[in-house]
Amino acid sequence: EKQLIQILTGREVPSGGIPADVGIVCQNVATAAAVAEAVDQGRPLIGRITTLTGDAMTNKGNFDVLFGTPVSHLLAVGGYQPQKHERVIM
């Protein structure tokens, strides 16, 4: 967030500071959408869009993932091939 503000506005959020300290409001699009759905439709936030990508994935893409989904399930859905990369970055 701080890097995005610096790039877009040239303003630097001080260490330990928040965007409002430099006159910026930064809103996460996913959070805004979740608030709108909760208020307008009474729909609780139960998941997030999650991106699976990289050379070790055979099924790359954006997936609607419920909170609590095991990482092992996501790796299976993505077709994770550990022989290509032994580490996963989350």
pLDDT in tens, 1-17: 899 999 999 999 999 99
Tokens of 24: 């910026």
Positive or negative CA dihedral for 59, 61, 62, 68?
positive
The Cα–Cα gap between 73 and 38 comes to 27
**Which amino acid is located at 81 in the chain?**
Q
Q: What is the per-residue pLDDT across 31-85, written as a single tens digit (0 to 9) for each?
A: 899 999 999 999 999 999 999 999 999 999 999 999 999 999 999 999 999 898 8
